[in-house]
Amino acid sequence: MQIAPSVSNPNRPRRLLRFLLGACALVGVSLSQAQAGGVLTVAMTAGDIPVTTGTPDQGFEGFRFVGWSLYDALVGWDLSKADKPSDIIPGLATSWSIDPNDHKRWIFKLRQGVKFHDGCAFNADDVVWNYARMTDNKSPQFFAQQFALNRGYMTNVANIEKVDDFTVAITTKFVESLFPYTMSYIPMVSRCRAEELKYDWNAFAMHPSGTGPYRFDRMIPRERLELVPNKDYWNPARVPHQDRMILIPMPEAATRVAALLSGQVNFVEAPPPDTIARLKSAGMQIVTNVYPHNWPFTLNFVKGPFTDLRVRQAANYALNRADFVELLGGLATEEYAQVPPFMPYYGKPVRYEFNAKKATELLKAAKCYPCEITLAISTSGSGQMQPLPMNDLLKSQMEEAGFKVNFKVMDWNAMLEIARGGVDKFPDIDGYNGSRALVDPVIAVIKPVAKAYWSPAGANWGHFYNADIEKLVADIFTEFDDAKRMALLTKLHEAENEQAIMIFVVHDVNPRALSPHVKGFVQSQHWFQDMTPISVE
Amino acid sequence: MLALILRRLFYAAPIALGVSIVCFSLVYLAPGDPLQAVMPADVTPDMVEMIKHEYGFDKPIPVQYALWLWRALQGDFGLSIGSRRPVIVDVLGSLQNTLLLTSFAVPIAFVIGYSLGAIAGCFPGRWLDRIVTGFAVMGVSVPNYWLGIVMVIAFAVELSWLPATGMGPRGSDAFSIFSLDDLRYLVMPVFTLSMVPVGIIARSTRAAVAEIRGQDFVVTLRAKGLSEIAVIRHVLKNALPQVLAVMGLQFGYLMGGSILIETVFTWPGSGFLLAKAIINRDIPVLQGAILLLSLVFVATNLVVDLLQSAIDPRIRRA
């Protein structure tokens, strides 16, 4: 038997090598493509993962990372620029206009071709359905938690009705020219998914479906939420650049910083001021920007020393705001008015520059010297910065001018109860220290002063009332010309400062710490941020 | 023995009922409305009533207690105010994460504490005793959350040897004790958690050993010609019931008292859950977590009592 000799092909090893090299190259390319965007891991200040069933909790941080990742509203925000204030832009609605025959009726034209993550198409029926979900407790989709979370935004919504498949009409309770801002806080969730899950909102929380730039991938309750890009997002410019975004609640500030320095996370919210130097020396990027935030005292206009304008002015003159900025390591700007100077309706408000002598004179003229006041402050809270040391400084400066400051110190939720209860329930509190998100003109300069928003119905905690200001508000709500309305808003802002409606202290600058490998983040002048352009090397 | 077990169980029932009343009413003594976290800013009184009805807070407190207890006996602690998830799911999930920490920390604390205490007890007044006592005092005196932060700075930030936070690179539901990568996340929390029990167990063992060594039976054992090692074995066996009692209490304390360590390390255990529930005024979670942790404590003490009886015949005869 002849055994065929093994034929050795001299070219085989070379061909095999070429094949292997080619295969390696392919694998390398696909791996590098898969990891091109990287994984963004965010340490949030929130104590828990914001709810994923629509409007999130955990304040605006919930909107920032979860709400606007999974969902869209009819009206969006332009978060693409760092050098100018953000304003509203078309979202799931491409346009809106007032009905010329009825100024309480707004017509919203909806964007066509939008799909929810589950594949169902978005249309007018979804808008009507979502409205019932938040307001009609007789409807099967009603969800009490979403009612509570949305109630503050729906104050002026009387009804939403379908006009055609891509048009809805929203009727307001009173004429409000700034109404479109309201529709920028209300996410649209998928009716298909809710019906598929038989309105089990716990199940929906683990399988959310929206129209947003991110899809839900995985969640371990209380620990982490993992989102992946929605490649079919209706706005191709905002398909996320990273491969995955992981959100981790980390309420302890020292833990957040340690996690960043040890490489466990690469994006950290609100690092404490005294860690900035360490973070910079480790090569981290510290990003700040002005944004519509203030850290004031909201005052009691019914009872107590602050019913007198001179005492309110004295409180503002007593403060050396530069000391606060120094205390915060430069991570703040001096606050002399309701809104920061970059806001378009800032105008030329009265500036209560530090003048302790003038403060004392005013107190004496008001026959309140020493002037005993009781202020409610918190130990922490959303936007509250470093409340205890800041208030220690405030007390020392005010007492130098002639105030006698008594603090009622409480946790954040107890403070919220005071904020919601209003002066009727807490008449002995002369003021409370609650940070304010000034994201739109209604929240920023109208709600704190208009009678329609007297607490407990609204945010005018201390029942401020001034006839001229009340008329200005009415004019603003009925003025549909943008330029004229802006002039009125500016006048309102200046009038509020003349009245020293709050004790103004500082504006935050929204510090964040990022790993040097994080690229593409543009910090907008807003509480919300766009996470989609970020990539991780 | 059976009679002993039944008697102990019988005593545990009223204790558990008392615990349930205390933990149900405690959260209502705290200032503030429990629904603050979900109330909108401009809520009107009729909306308050509607929200309270949806969340079950519109009934009188004794009726709320009775309904809550009846549901609790069936394993239903209601829904979290914040997340609307069943409380029992959150609490049991977090309890098992704390149990993981504790079940590593307690044996480590026992082995180290008992050994150190035994050495100190065998050489009372000598330099070994002083070193061990000093170490034990440090263990109980140094704030464990401070120690945790220092360890994070040293081993995670500066040396990058260990991860700073969390329970595994992919979270608790992917955590495996058979994965070295996951076990690295346990090292610092376990070490920090075990420091106080090491100190307490060492001091208790030292006292017990020193006291027993002075007893007549030890003299008799030496007189009978037993080697010193054999004598020490007898001494340690006699010291064990007292130390077991201390260890059992420590297990209960660690299960309920890990709140600071879990917050520093972002370990998703019952302590971290309690901390967040306190901040968010999530009353159903607070009630469920406190009750279950208290019952764990009661059950632990019951098991320790029974173990002591099993080890020490004098307790059985008593």
Pairwise CA distance, residues A47 & B86, whole Å = 18
Residue-level pLDDT at B258? 81
Tokens of A26: 């392919």
Which residues on adjacent β-strands are paired with residue A472? none
Peptide bond into B143 cis (omega under 30): no
* Cβ–Cβ gap B51/A147 under 8 Å: yes
* Cβ–Cβ gap B36/A152 under 8 Å: no
Q: Is A281 on the interface with B (CB under 8 A)?
A: no
Q: Which range is most confident: A401-405, B33-37, B228-232?
A: A401-405
Tell me the pLDDT tens digit for each residue of A18-70.
544 444 444 444 444 444 689 999 999 888 899 999 999 888 899 999 999 99
- Residues A136, A142, A143, CA angle at the centre, nearest 5°? 130
Are the beta carbons of B144 and B261 closer than 8 angstroms?
yes
Which class for B159: exposed (0-12), middle (13-18), buried (19 or more C-beta within 10 A)? exposed
Average pLDDT over residues B194-217: 88
Out of A313-322, A342-351, A505-514, B207-216, pick the least confident.
Answer: B207-216
Q: Look-up: residue for tokens 């009705």? A: A161
Residue-level pLDDT at B43? 59
Rg of chain B (C-alpha set): 24
* Higher local confidence (pLDDT), A387 or B9: A387
Closest CA to A357 of A390, A402, A392, A391: A402
Locate the chain B residue with the closest alpha carbon to A249.
B266
With b for 16 or more beta-carbon neighbours within 10 A and e for fewer, the B17-38 pattern comes to eebbeebbeebeeeebbbbbbb
- Which among B83, B149, B173 is the nearest to A220, CB-wise? B173
Q: Which A positions 390-409 lie with beta carbon below 8 A of chain B?
A: none
**ipTM > 0.85?**
no
Q: Which A positions 153-192 lie with beta carbon below 8 A of chain B?
A: 155
Tokens of B54: 């949806």
Tell me the pLDDT tens digit for each residue of A315-325.
999 999 999 99
* Higher local confidence (pLDDT), A125 or B129: A125
Residue-level pLDDT at B218? 84
Element holding B198 (H helix, E strand): helix B180-213
Backbone angles phi, psi at A470, to 5 degrees: -60, -40
Chain A neighbors of B159, CB-CB under 8 A = none
Are the beta carbons of B4 and B247 closer than 8 angstroms?
no
Decide if pLDDT at B6 tops 80.
Answer: no
Tell me the pLDDT tens digit for each residue of B207-227.
888 888 888 888 888 888 888
* Cβ–Cβ gap A419/B47 under 8 Å: no
Tell me the pLDDT tens digit for each residue of B21-67.
887 787 667 665 656 555 555 556 666 677 677 666 778 888 888 88
At B11, the amino acid letter reads: Y
Q: State the pLDDT confidence band at B154, using cuts at 50, 70 and 90.
A: very high
pTM: 0.85
* Higher local confidence (pLDDT), A422 or A69: A69
Q: State the pLDDT confidence band at A326, using cuts at 50, 70 and 90.
A: very high
Chain A neighbors of B80, CB-CB under 8 A = none
Average pLDDT taken over every residue of chain A:
91
Tell me the pLDDT tens digit for each residue of A224-242.
999 999 999 999 999 999 9
* Sheet of strand A512-514: strand arrangement: A214-220, A224-229, A244-249, A39-44, A267-269, A512-514, A285-287
